[in-house]
Amino acid sequence: MKRKLFVVTALVLIAASVFASGGQDTKATSAGKKVRIAILVKSLGNGFFEAVRDGAQEAAKELGDVEIIYQGPSSATAEGQIEIINNLIATKVDAIAISANDQDALVPAAKKAMEAGIKVISFDSGIAEAGRILHLAPSDTELIGRSQMRLMGELVNWEGEVAILSATAQATNQNAWIEYMKKEIQENPKCKNMKLVAVVYGDDSSDKSYREALGLFKSYPNLKGIISPTTVGVAATAKAIQDQGLTGKIQLTGLGLPSEMKAYVENGVSKAIALWNPIDLGYSSTYICYNLVKGKNTGKEGDTFTAGRMGTIKVGPKGLAIMGEPFTFTKDNIAKYAAMF
């Protein structure tokens, strides 16, 4: 099959991640006080965010005077994150980097944190502009959304019913990507014989995602493909396809961790998935927070951050900074990356 995969300019993928178990760095500076950076994720138990945490620890080790506080609610809710933000304000952290479960609901708590002198940024899944200094996106939103739909088109030979199995209904990042997937299927003439029949939500819970996948198989007997732009959802959908003996009948793509998707890509459940390096995302977020706390950067449009091995990261309009290009994994290259994240 001829696969015209989207831009594959690889990020410089660094194998050297630091696997510290929730670790607090013990190396104190001569000044004594460490910069305390909280990494607040959508939910705990998600391998994507554990890789983000490893990248944050790597940056903390390099910087020397940083303590990483890794936190998240047990399920991906805005309420859980608001409670944690309030606790972080009370414990006077220096910075919070948030992957938001809801772009608007978190704004009041995030504003309160900023008023208390805490540097707040979002990464991965954004908070609305009023609630953060800047947002670090892993890659260009339009590129991710459109290229996911194009990849699906290639896998289903540009025809038939397709569905999307997303994370939570309020997730900023997935919702933005889905908007562009919808635009692509409407606007790209090659997609004229494809039909988007459903968007369902697995809430970044493996169990719920698995059940939603089974629901799609049942409700749409002619379904040809599923896009799952969440690492949790795509792995659960792959398992559901395999368990139901639907390999080859239902095509699957999405955004997946090579470590979780290797077996399914190698055995043909999914021919191709995409993602960026979550370790780099945590690493870059930590450098950005550190430089804001140290007053080296303002985070305003045009500002450029120096972020260790990631080089420089520039802030664009609306406080949006972009880390790099996504990468596509197929059976030919996934093993190499599965060892990293």
Q: Which residues bind ligand RAM (CB under 6 A)?
A: 42, 46, 48, 99, 124-125, 167, 173, 204, 230-232, 255
d(CA 189, CA 3): 18
Minimum CB distance to ligand RAM, residue 169 (Å):
12
Written as six digits, the tokens of 243 are: 């368990």
Q: If you write DSSP's letter for every residue of 45-96 in order, what string do you get?
A: T-HHHHHHHHHHHHHHHHHSSEEEEEE--SSS-HHHHHHHHHHHHHTT-SEE
Question: Strand 304-306 to strand 312-314: parallel, antiparallel, or no bridges (unpaired)?
Answer: antiparallel
Minimum CB distance to ligand RAM, residue 324 (Å):
14
Q: If you write DSSP's letter for every residue of 232-260 in order, what string do you get?
A: HHHHHHHHHHHHTT-BTTBEEEEB--HHH
Per DSSP, helices labelled H in 267-309 are 278-293
Minimum CB distance to ligand RAM, residue 49 (Å):
7
Minimum CB distance to ligand RAM, residue 27 (Å):
30
Q: Which residue lies nearer to ligand RAM by CB, 94 or 204?
A: 204
Q: Which residue lies nearer to ligand RAM by CB, 81 or 297?
A: 81
318: number of Cβ within 10 Å: 10
Q: Which residue lies nearer to ligand RAM by CB, 48 or 220?
A: 48
Q: Which residue lies nearer to ligand RAM by CB, 124 or 184?
A: 124
The H-or-E segment that residue 151 falls in is: helix 141-155
Rounded to 10 deg, the angle between the 172-187 and 141-155 helix axes is 50
167 and 232 Cβ atoms separated by less than 8 Å: yes
Minimum CB distance to ligand RAM, residue 42 (Å):
6
Q: Which residue lies nearer to ligand RAM by CB, 34 or 135?
A: 135
40 SS3 class = strand
For residues 223-246, b (16+ Cβ closer than 10 Å) or e, as one string? bbbbbbbbbbbbbbbbbbbbeeeb
Minimum CB distance to ligand RAM, residue 189 (Å):
29
Minimum CB distance to ligand RAM, residue 137 (Å):
10
d(CA 200, CA 180): 16
CA angle in degrees (0–180, nearest 5) for 309-289-129: 120
Q: Which residue lies nearer to ligand RAM by CB, 48 or 341?
A: 48
Q: Which residue lies nearer to ligand RAM by CB, 319 or 326?
A: 326
d(CA 18, CA 104): 33
Minimum CB distance to ligand RAM, residue 268 (Å):
22
Question: Strand 95-98 to strand 35-40: parallel, antiparallel, or no bridges (unpaired)?
Answer: parallel
Written as six digits, the tokens of 225 are: 């493909």
Residue nearest to ligand RAM (CB): 48
Minimum CB distance to ligand RAM, residue 239 (Å):
16
CA angle in degrees (0–180, nearest 5) for 140-145-277: 55
Q: Which residue lies nearer to ligand RAM by CB, 223 or 236?
A: 236
Q: Which residue lies nearer to ligand RAM by CB, 162 or 176?
A: 176
d(CA 28, CA 35): 10
